[in-house]
């Protein structure tokens, strides 16, 4: 029997208290996949209560007990990998090649990395006459997005479980079914009742109820900066810890000594990956002003090689964007770029030729963009690249930092030391040198309005721990 209309609370699949449902649409066909139950305050209260009760026992489990549970999750996760990939592809439009190679495995990677951290992490230390203990933060609420859904669920759930926390997850209502599969994985793996709970619903109802709930000790949110502000506002009266991974408008500096054909073509593909729906997408490409025409020609050719189509087709590079709302937003921003005077090199408004159904967007390249244009400042979340000219290295750094965001930066150079020096001047939480990919053992998170706190690896693990100093613990006599 399908669990898609149910919630997972205290180790059981239960009906929604509201009786309300929401249709989930396949973005490649615009047809109904299924519906989910929509939660309310009573469902949140039940889930938080279950997590609070479970915290009394899960928080005092041993390292060995948690290792055993993590190992069991990993084994079941591996067996359900195909189900996760197929579900993600259907509900958010990722090509099956990407879903199988990156979307689903990303979640497994976070569990494996967290398990390695857990095995060796030092939870206690002596400082002077005091003993310092790192203890689980408590009941956690997780609000996660649709663009890399299992990645964002796992990079919160895995370290929280390993740290000894209990939790309530509200996944995106746009792409919620992968979270149902995930809950089934944890259930089969034997995660104790109440340790992990799942309630579906929308942000203004379930998300807000979790953020302000007095029984929640910490909220970890991934999504837009606008929504992150609301989460923080709702959490403020109870002074709970809030970790946020928010928007981005990452600069990609192509230095004058870089291999232009290689770097630009590579990074156009990287920007288009996942249909541009990544918070760390390198959507602002900074090139020397004197070489704008050359860079535009390379970027245009690369964009035209990006094949947009059916996620089930083996030769598809990118599928649709996730929803009609996202499609219209991207169309409006592309038109804004045209209206504000950027040079449209390829792409533009409307669907690609031959695709009359589905939320498909043309890979679009603008050149001669200035950093004050809307397309250079707003997060588009689509396959739209802005080429911005700079005068010298200092000017490139200035433009890169001229944004409210600070999630990622990218630098290409034939001189590794030059690239490293510029990386230190970029005000972002992550910098990629010469095409380096993300590393789930390293911290991930942003500066400025891209958020606070860090996820992934040991840094992500430490987010779920409180630090207690026991004074006089080592005093003589």
Write out the catalytic residue numbers: 245, 279
Within the chain, what is the greatest distance between any pair of CA atoms?
A: 83
Count of residues for the chain?
477
H or E, element range at 35: strand 31-38
Taking the C-alpha atoms of residue 246 and residue 449, their distance in angstroms, rounded to an integer, is 7
Task: Give the β-pairing of 20-26 and 31-38.
Answer: antiparallel
Task: Give the β-pairing of 12-15 and 6-9.
Answer: antiparallel
Structure letter (DSSP) for residue 475: -
Question: Number of helices (H) and strands (E), helices first, in the chain?
Answer: 16, 20
Taking the C-alpha atoms of residue 172 and residue 137, their distance in angstroms, rounded to an integer, is 24
Q: Which residues contact 364 (CB under 8 A, 6 or more apart)?
A: 303, 334, 344, 346, 347, 348, 382, 383, 384, 385
Q: Where are the alpha helices (DSSP H) in 164-217?
A: 177-189, 208-212
Distances (CA, A) of 149 to 278, 364, 445: 11, 25, 16
Torsional sign, CA 245, 246, 247, 251: negative
Contact 79, 245 (CB under 8 A): no
- Exposure on the CB side of residue 314, measured as CA atoms within 13 A: 0
């Amino acid at each position: 029997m399908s669990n898609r209309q149910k919630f997972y609370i205290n180790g059981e699949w239960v009906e929604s208290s509201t009786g309300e449902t929401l249709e989930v649409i396949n973005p490649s066909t615009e047809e109904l996949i299924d519906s989910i139950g929509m939660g309310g305050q009573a469902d949140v209260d039940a889930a938080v209560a279950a997590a609070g009760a479970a915290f009394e026992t899960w928080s005092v489990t041993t390292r060995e007990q948690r290792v055993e549970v993590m190992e069991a999750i990993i084994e079941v996760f591996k067996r359900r990998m195909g189900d996760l990939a197929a579900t993600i592809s259907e509900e958010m439009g990722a090509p099956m090649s990407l879903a199988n190679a990156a979307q689903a495995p990303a979640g497994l990677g976070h569990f494996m990395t967290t398990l390695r951290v857990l095995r060796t992490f030092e939870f206690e230390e002596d400082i002077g006459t005091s003993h310092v203990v790192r203890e689980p933060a408590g009941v956690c609420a997780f609000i996660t997005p649709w663009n890399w859904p299992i990645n964002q669920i796992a990079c919160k759930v895995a370290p929280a479980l390993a740290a000894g926390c209990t939790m309530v997850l509200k996944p995106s209502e746009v792409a919620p079914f992968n979270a149902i599969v995930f809950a089934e994985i944890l259930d089969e793996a034997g995660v104790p009742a109440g340790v992990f709970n799942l309630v579906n619903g929308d942000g203004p109802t379930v998300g807000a109820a979790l953020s302000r709930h007095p029984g929640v000790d910490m909220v970890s949110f991934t999504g837009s900066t606008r929504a992150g502000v609301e989460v923080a506002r709702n959490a403020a009266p109870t002074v709970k810890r809030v970790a946020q991974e928010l928007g981005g408008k990452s600069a990609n500096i192509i230095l004058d000594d870089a291999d232009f054909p290689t770097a630009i073509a590579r990074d156009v593909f990287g920007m288009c990956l996942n249909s541009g729906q990544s918070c760390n997408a390198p959507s602002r490409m900074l090139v020397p002003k004197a070489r704008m025409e050359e860079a535009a020609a390379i970027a245009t050719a690369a964009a035209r090689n990006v094949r947009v189509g059916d996620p089930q087709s083996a030769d598809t590079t990118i599928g649709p964007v996730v929803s009609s709302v996202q499609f219209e937003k991207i169309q409006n921003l592309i038109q804004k770029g045209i209206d504000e005077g950027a040079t449209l090199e390829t792409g533009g408004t409307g669907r690609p030729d031959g695709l009359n159904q589905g939320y498909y967007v043309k890979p679009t390249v603008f050149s001669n963009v200035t950093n004050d244009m809307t397309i250079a400042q707003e997060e588009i979340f689509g396959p739209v690249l802005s080429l911005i000219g700079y005068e010298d290295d200092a000017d490139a750094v200035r433009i890169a930092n001229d944004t409210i965001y600070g999630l990622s930066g990218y630098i290409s150079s034939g001189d590794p030391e030059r690239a490293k020096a510029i990386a230190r001047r970029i005000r972002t939480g992550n910098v990629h040198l010469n095409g380096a990919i993300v590393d789930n053992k390293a911290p991930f998170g942003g500066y400025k309005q891209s958020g606070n706190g860090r996820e992934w690896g040991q840094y992500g693990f430490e987010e779920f721990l409180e630090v207690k100093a026991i004074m006089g613990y080592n005093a003589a006599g």
